[in-house]
Amino acid sequence: MKNLRGRTRVLALGTATAIAVAGALVGCSAASGTAGSGSGGNSDRPEGEIHVLVLGDAAASAEEAAAERFNKTSDVKVVIDQGATAGSDYQAAIRNSVGSASAPDVFMSWGAANIQPLLDAGALMPLDDFIKDDPKLKSSFLPSVFNEEVIDGSTYGIPMRGVAPTFLFYNKAVLKAAGLEPATTWDELLSQVDALKAQGVTPLGLAGADKWPTQMWYQYLFAREIGNDKVAAGLAGDGDVWASDGSKTALKKLRDLVGAGGFGENYDSVTYGTDGSAALLRTGKSAYELMGTWHFATIEAGDADFVQNDLGWTAFPSVDGAGKAGEIAGNLSNYYNVAADTRYPDTVRDFLKQLYSDEFLNDQLKLGNLPPTENAASLIEADADLGAVNKDYLSFVVNLVADAPTFQLSWDQAVPAESQTPVQNAMADYLNGTIDADAWISAMQDATAR
Amino acid sequence: MIRSASRGPDRSKRGGLQHAGRPGFAWSLPAVAFFTFFALLPLAVAIYLSFTKYNGIRLVPPRFVGIDNWSRLLTDDALHRSIGVTIILIVLAVATQLPVSLLIGVWAAGPQRMRAIVVALYFIPLLMSTAAVAVLWASLADPNFGVPAALNGILGPNNAFSNLLGKPATALGLIVFIYLWGASPLHTLIYQGGARAIPEVLYQAASVDGAGRVRQFFSITLPQLRNTMVTSTILMIVGTFTTFDLILILTRGGPSGGTSNLPFFMYDRGVTALDFGYGSVVAVVLIVLATVVSIVMVRATRYDEMQGTQEGL
């Protein structure tokens, strides 16, 4: 009797502790475990309004202003709902609500791989009829950006935020002190490493702890060595691309750069988020940094004078490879998608026209975003509020994008969500030497296999 | 003999009054209902999800896939490493926090006012949110602008501190140190309370018998704190098992998975990768491991019996 009671109590205590341990954690995966009815249906939706779920960051203000303008003349009103600030939370909310009456009519996405599961679920409306009604919904935008969410010949998203290619930023004063000009070829860049190290400077700043900045180096070396078309094929599941000679050459070049001390010794401790790598560049502790368009605003927030005087930018150096000159990589844009069961498709179509209106695009410029539109260059030229340096900068980005034969979406966003972490890990692990080239190749083959 | 007259009503070996005014089952209903809805039910859902493929889209309900997710258990090296990281973290956390908080707690139990002031300062980390603490330590550990940069002048460039978050061993070490800094005040508080409850008469008797301070510590303080130690250690283990926020903010499981413990791994696979089936498998593994550890702890320490340490006084 006593024994039995003892055992029961042991078990009860044990499981109670264990469940307390795991309960909270399970909660977060179970919260989304209950499946809804699945068929929202037009008439369940609120009457006289459409809902737009926006990512709740600083750039949302332009979208709110667009809704305000639109509502002045529309009977069916656009309601802007502020969503999560973090992309992953935002996407979880979309996934959990599509198909229900409370789902937004319009929401934002990051590219084709990002919307594919929603498309498979029948949750997205093809926008081809919208474009037939108003061709400017397509013709206003840069084709390289617009085509990202054209899937099997149908358009599912309209670009709505800034274009963000990556390129090299540099500290003019640091290069000058070392007697160097910004590198235009890979060999030049490699040869500058020693000179910069001799100055006590990290040649190439890298926020390795965050992994996605590491990825940018792969994106460009592969674009130069094998070309973005091959890269796109590899990301779409052609495993031979990763095992090709060009791929191996790119990998070797990267390791050579690491071995030469190009990134310094402690790049894996450097973050982007807490003003890590940006501070390195603006305080003269690093000479170059490969980063996206937004880096300008990040550095400006830390030291506006530096941006006015000593911040330089240049295209990624050329490499002797099979890639075409001027191929670029980075984040294309974000896109507005439309729920398949929206109650007022005509209102949605008319609201989307805001995305190419001058007011909306000027608001984007004010936020430091480069609009993904054909008229971006003339808008920048005409904008009286922009300073000379900002204009130079935005014009450089416009030309970089306009002259690019291809624009490869960041690899971790070009693969399905479940492959995102493996892709990032493979790149961080190869760069710091945890895995070798063969392991990297098979990791990429696994992550991109369909 | 001395105190036997003051002993209260007869206590059973288990301690506490048996059935004295103990309410019926109905009294525990609120607690049972709470536990069912917020622990057992989610647990059941997690077990169900672990046999399905579900990517978080409500329109596509979870699809039953049998043991597909479970079969990945044996082959997923990342999961195995994650279990290893979890265990190492727990062992290091207990090995550092237990002695430190025990010694400081016993020291703080003394009556001197100066000690109270020092201890009040020592407790400050308890008041800070883990998220804020993680951001703060991330800045301190920054190799170019934090403490390591200052140490370069003394220890030379590329010393042991210059790449703290870039190597698995040092990143783990830093996390253990932050635990120690942040969690040991709580345990110190527990030991302080425990030490103050030890009857003064025991020490007086020991002094009369000629026992020195060290002898008193090992022969009186430690045995008297046995139950306190068990409670505190269980809290440490459970707390370390579930650590998530610090790792998410400080290292995001890096470098190269070197600090990815089970809760972070579960988040990474379940929520980030939107693979709720496999994420639930990891959650269930976490539950099973925690259950095993709990049972072993309860058995080994006889926590369920919890005999008093002052019998015979």
CATH of the domain at A269: 3.40.190.10
Contacts of A211 in chain B (CB under 8 A): 252, 254
Contacts of B299 in chain A (CB under 8 A): 10
State whether A256 and A364 are in the same domain: no
Q: Residue B240's domain is classified under what CATH number?
A: 1.10.3720.10
> Which residues between 103 and 122 in chain B have a beta carbon less than 8 angstroms from any beta carbon of chain A?
none
> Which residues between 305 and 364 in chain A have a beta carbon less than 8 angstroms from any beta carbon of chain B?
none
Question: Does A23 fall in a domain?
Answer: no
In the block, which residue shows the tokens 């301690």? Answer: B15
Inspect the interface and report whether the beta carbons of B287 and A26 lie closer than 8 Å. yes
Distance CA A201, CA A168 (A): 16
Is A412 in the B-facing interface, judged by CB distances under 8 Å? no
Domain containing A58: what range? 43-163+332-383
Distance CA A149, CA A332 (A): 11
| Total number of domains constituting chain A | 2
Nearest Cα to Cα of residue A367 among A392, A385, A388, A389: A385
A336 phi, psi to nearest 5 deg: -90, 130
Inspect the interface and report whether the beta carbons of B56 and A428 lie closer than 8 Å. no
Inspect the interface and report whether the beta carbons of A425 and B256 lie closer than 8 Å. yes
State whether A303 and A251 are in the same domain: yes
Question: Does B155 fall in a domain?
Answer: yes
Distance from CA of B280 to the nearest CA of A (A): 7
pLDDT at B308: 66
State whether A58 and A125 are in the same domain: yes
State whether A258 and A143 are in the same domain: no
State whether A378 and A257 are in the same domain: no
| Total number of domains constituting chain B | 1
Domain containing B167: what range? 43-301
Q: How many C-beta atoms surround the C-beta of residue B224 within 10 A?
A: 17
pLDDT in single tens digits along all 450 residues of chain A = 344 444 445 445 455 544 544 444 444 433 333 333 333 345 678 888 999 999 887 778 889 999 999 999 999 999 999 888 777 778 888 988 888 888 999 999 989 988 999 999 999 999 999 999 999 999 999 988 999 999 999 999 999 988 999 999 999 999 999 999 999 999 999 999 999 999 999 999 999 988 899 999 999 999 999 999 999 999 999 999 999 999 999 999 999 999 999 999 889 888 887 678 999 999 999 999 999 998 888 888 888 899 999 999 999 999 999 999 899 999 999 999 999 989 999 999 999 999 999 999 988 888 778 999 999 989 998 888 888 898 899 999 999 998 899 999 999 889 988 888 889 989 999 999 989 999 999 999 999 987
Q: Using one digit for the tens of pLDDT, what is the confidence trace for A147-195? A: 999 999 999 999 998 899 999 999 999 999 999 999 999 999 999 999 9
Buried b or exposed e, range A221-240, using 16+ CB within 10 angstroms: bbbbbbbbbbbbbbbeebbe
DSSP B226: H
Inspect the interface and report whether the beta carbons of A32 and B276 lie closer than 8 Å. yes
Question: Does A434 fall in a domain?
Answer: yes
Question: Does B6 fall in a domain?
Answer: no
Question: Does A27 fall in a domain?
Answer: no
Question: Does A2 fall in a domain?
Answer: no
Amino acid sitting at position A162: G
State whether A425 and A284 are in the same domain: yes
State whether A319 and A415 are in the same domain: yes
Distance from CA of A266 to the nearest CA of B (A): 5
Buried b or exposed e, range B260-282, using 16+ CB within 10 angstroms: bbbbbbbbbbbbbbbbbbbbbbb
User: Residue B309 — pLDDT band, cuts 50, 70, 90?
Assistant: low
Q: Which residues, at least 6 apart from A289, have a Cβ–Cβ distance to it below 8 Å?
A: A168, A169, A170, A204, A205, A206, A277, A278, A280, A281, A295
Inspect the interface and report whether the beta carbons of A99 and B279 lie closer than 8 Å. no
Inspect the interface and report whether the beta carbons of A417 and B293 lie closer than 8 Å. no
Question: Does A413 fall in a domain?
Answer: yes
Report yes or no: A149 and A335 within 8 Å, Cβ to Cβ.
yes
Amino acid sitting at position A110: W
Q: Using one digit for the tens of pLDDT, what is the confidence trace for B162-188? A: 788 888 899 999 999 999 998 889 999
Question: Does A59 fall in a domain?
Answer: yes
Question: Does A367 fall in a domain?
Answer: yes
Distance CA A171, CA A306 (A): 9
B224 phi, psi to nearest 5 deg: -70, -25
Is B277 in the A-facing interface, judged by CB distances under 8 Å? no
State whether A295 and A336 are in the same domain: no
Interface test with A, best of B135, B144, B281 (most A CBs within 10 A): B144
Q: Using one digit for the tens of pLDDT, what is the confidence trace for B290-308? A: 888 888 888 887 766 666 6
Is B90 in the A-facing interface, judged by CB distances under 8 Å? no
Burial of B226 (0-12, 13-18, 19+ CB in 10 A): middle
Peptide bond into B255 cis (omega under 30): yes
Contacts of B61 in chain A (CB under 8 A): 35, 38
Distance CA A244, CA A70 (A): 52
State whether A350 and A367 are in the same domain: yes
State whether A301 and A428 are in the same domain: yes
State whether A173 and A135 are in the same domain: no
Question: Does A30 fall in a domain?
Answer: no
Report pTM: 0.81
Question: Does B130 fall in a domain?
Answer: yes
Distance from CA of B110 to the nearest CA of A (A): 33
State whether A171 and A318 are in the same domain: yes
Is A271 in the B-facing interface, judged by CB distances under 8 Å? yes
Q: Which residues, at least 6 apart from A187, have a Cβ–Cβ distance to it below 8 Å?
A: none
Is B58 in the A-facing interface, judged by CB distances under 8 Å? yes
Sign of CA dihedral B248, B249, B251, B256: positive
Distance CA A92, CA A272 (A): 24
